[in-house]
Amino acid sequence: MKKKTVRDLEVADKRVLLRADFNIPFETATATITDDTRIRATLPTIEYLLARGARVILCSHLGRPGGLRDSKLSLRPVARRLAELLGKPVPLLEDCVGPLVKEAVGKLGRGQVTLLENLRFHAAEERNDPAFSAELASLGEVFVNDAFGAAHRAHASTEGVAHHLPAVAGFLMEKELRFLSAVREQPEHPFYLILGGAKVSDKVGVIQNLLDRVDGLLVGGGMANTFLKAQGLPVGASLYEEDKVAFARTLLDQAKSRRITCLTPVDVTIADRFDAAASSRVVPVAEVPTDWRIMDIGPQSSELYRQALADARLVLWNGPMGVYEFPRFAEGTRAVGHAIGAVKGTTIVGGGETAAAVHALGLADRMSHVSTGGGATLEFLEGRTLPGIAALLDA
């Protein structure tokens, strides 16, 4: 999927409206950012534009204020962090539209940058209101979308403004499309898909779209419970999706008939309650007690998965292997992460919870690409057309 990028624009002296994804985690009480990954990911695009004399107008959403102004969801912490990273002032405007905003943007000089206040303080943003889109677009002369994490939303700032301005991809958007398109269109082989997280239902579309392309499917996390149930194995007090057991059983049969390696846990780490300090032990999957919960894949499973990945040329990982937020139950995710990091081919981490896990475990620098998308990554891998990408000019 080829789209025009910032390289295709002449930006000197031009006002560039840049949609970023600054929807980042932070401590509300202290307005302290706890993970600035998404801010750093957009820096190459911002710095490229500033170095070429553009007048950069950044915009983003943060949280779900529901169309109301909420001081706790102000982008002020983002503006402060950006100023630190860029080494220059990043003033935060009081709003994202209106005469005062237009006046402030008009005073921007070459190589200067400003940040608009939270787009979602206006309900018109999520409605993709045409009048709001036009007013937002009037701030710029060209539009750059670097917010892959919001590309699956047809909002004013992701899709609407592209009807009014020449619209291209930023470097982060370009990178996301390059890596994820390779998975969707021309994957290298052997190609292994590793899926975890809580629910099978979150991954059904990805499985259905990629099953004909993969050489191996490795399952962990809470969704593995549904696959274990499909094999007639006990899951104790663990959560599983009753309405997806038949799907899991069919998938296992399809994988077998197509000679696709499909691995589910052979041992698991269990706990007597859902708690970081719970009593725990490792048991074979056939020996989960009725009143215990599966919290992670076990060491034998981790080793089995490591061996399976030894010849991989492409690995896509979406979903942790267990309750990695609790240190005692993070070992499966850590072990699989290290196994993926040792792969000699291309390794891609789906965004959201998986990206958070690899950053928390210090494994991000071992991966070829860690996606900044959550829902956008999944929808793209399902084969869907994302409105924020479709709106960009084709190369």
Could you please state the CATH topology (level 3) that the domain comprising 6-174 is classified under.
Rossmann fold (3.40.50)
Encoded tokens for 19: 């949609």
Alpha carbon separation from 2 to 209, 328, 330, 395 (Å, rounded): 21, 44, 38, 5
Which of the residues are catalytic? 38, 199, 352, 375
CATH 3.40.50.1260 is held by the domain 187-381? yes
Domain boundaries, the chain: 6-174, 187-381
Section 85-107 average pLDDT? 97
The span from the CA of 264 to the CA of 224, in Å, is 7
Section 357-372 average pLDDT? 91
Per-residue model confidence as pLDDT tens digits over 190-249: 999 999 999 999 999 999 999 999 999 999 999 999 999 999 999 999 999 999 999 999
Answer for the pair 371, 350: CB distance below 8 angstroms, yes or no.
Answer: yes
pTM value surpassing 0.85? yes
Check for a shared fold between 6-174 and 187-381. Answer: yes
Per-residue model confidence as pLDDT tens digits over 17-45: 999 999 998 888 788 898 899 999 999 99
